[in-house]
Structure 1
Amino acid sequence: MIVGVGIDVAEIERFAASVRRTPALLDRLFVPAELVAPGGDRRGPASLAARFAAKEAVAKALGAPPGLLWTDCEVYAEDTGRPRLRVRGTVAARAAELGVTGWHVSLSHDAGVASAVVIAEG
């Protein structure tokens, strides 16, 4: 059963400009592992914008309640490269309230725009 669906887009250059203006934004939005790509290099703006879009999509799938913390939702990749979600704290609590037992996430970026779709399943 689908509990909720969320979709979001982020303009990559606008996201990158926000991070350049306010570097501490990265620590408010992401857990340290999200900032590092496989091989140890720092993730680029397109990848980070897509991850941010996924976090926004998660919030929408959960009904966008106040009080969710960005860092309570982590976007990571399986060894195959498939994106996955790891939730804890405020996000996990809201998901439990709604009966969410699984997540599906898809990320994309092209033509200067990053996008994400999230399905919360119960």
Structure 2
Amino acid sequence: MDGEAQIAGAGIDICDVARIESLIKRHGDAFLKKIFTDAEISYCRGRADSAQHYAARYAAKEAMAKAIGTGFSGGITPRGLSVENDAGGAPHAVLDAAATEAMRALGAKKMLVSLTHLKEYAQAIAILSR
């Protein structure tokens, strides 16, 4: 390391699972398709306690937007920040062009995410690395 910070940004968020469950019940697919990618919807629908998985992904989207420093503005949208899982189940960030450009403007090359959830709350952290 040459003394330059290797972390370009960080964000964290916590989400109330009951709030997400209520939004899904009230708005159904309209809510899901506005916030989540098709891959995220497919993943969550295939899980027991799907509301926990949706809430964790929502928290991840918020954490990623915070790490970039924009929130959901300037072309950064919830669907443009998504989480997919590798074959081993580990989550990884998937960014659209606008989010990738914002991340690179901070000098970051990669976004790392970690999610956790319980019955009542879901939490996520996002780290931008150089």
- Residues 37 and 50 of structure 1: CA distance in aligned 2, closer, same or farther (over 3 Å): same
Amino acid at match of 1:33: A
**How large is the Cα RMSD of the aligned pairs?**
1.8
Aligned equivalent of 1:83: 91
In the TM superposition, what is the alpha-carbon distance from 1:15 to its structure 2 partner?
Answer: 1.0
In the TM superposition, what is the alpha-carbon distance from 1:111 to its structure 2 partner?
Answer: 4.1
SS of the residue corresponding to residue 114 of structure 2 reads strand
- Provide the TM-score with structure 2 as the length reference: 0.85
SS of the residue corresponding to residue 84 of structure 1 reads strand
The 1-side partners of 2:46 and 2:126 are apart by: 26
In the TM superposition, what is the alpha-carbon distance from 1:105 to its structure 2 partner?
Answer: 0.9
Amino acid at match of 2:25: R
**2:58 corresponds to 1:62:** no
Q: State how 1:1-122 maps to structure 2 within 5 Å.
A: 1-23=6-28, 24-37=30-43, 41=46, 44-65=50-71, 66-67=73-74, 68-122=76-130
Q: How many residues align?
A: 121
Larger Rg: 2
The 2-side partners of 1:42 and 1:60 are apart by: 27
Higher helix share: 2
| Contact in 1 for aligned 2:17/2:119 (Cα 8 Å) | no
The 2-side partners of 1:111 and 1:86 are apart by: 26
Please list every run of 5 or more consecutive structure 1 residues that lacks an aligned counterpart in the other structure.
Answer: none
In the TM superposition, what is the alpha-carbon distance from 1:58 to its structure 2 partner?
Answer: 0.4
SS of the residue corresponding to residue 115 of structure 1 reads strand
Moved over 6 A (4+): none
Please list every run of 5 or more consecutive structure 2 residues that lacks an aligned counterpart in the other structure.
Answer: 1-5
